[in-house]
Amino acid sequence: AQSVTQLDSQVPVFEEAPVELRCNYSSSVSVYLFWYVQYPNQGLQLLLKYLSGSTLVKGINGFEAEFNKSQTSFHLRKPSVHISDTAEYFCAVSLQGGSEKLVFGKGTKLTVNP
């Protein structure tokens, strides 16, 4: 079975600082990888996804993530954050060739302070 570990439950940063949210996964088969963002009392919005090809994936709102197969990681980065980036971020995986079922990490609360 797959599992997803988000190493930091909370990440406080100052506005315009860079940020990295860490995600590691465990799976015996190849997976697809996703990052979602959740604003308070809302559903999830897809930030970016890795299905195949280039290991550096660019998403919306200036976010990017890099797939590292040897380290089974898919860390999310942004070079300069805004107050509006304050939200909960979830890393998720699904099996290649399987159903579209997603397994989520526990989330990282990003708080951007002025």
What residues does 112 pair with on adjacent strands? Answer: 13
Is 19 or 31 the residue whose CB approaches other proteins more closely?
31
Is 5 or 15 the residue whose CB approaches other proteins more closely?
5
Query: What is the rounded CA–CA span in Å between residue 73 and residue 4?
Result: 10
Residues 2-31 binding other proteins (CB under 8 A) are none
Q: What's the one-letter identity of residue 19?
A: V
Is 54 or 114 the residue whose CB approaches other proteins more closely?
54
**Which run of H or of E encompasses 34?**
strand 31-38
- Look up residue 61 and give its two tokens: 């709102």
Task: Return residues touching other proteins (CB under 8 A).
Answer: 32, 34, 36, 41-46, 49, 51, 90, 94, 99-107, 109
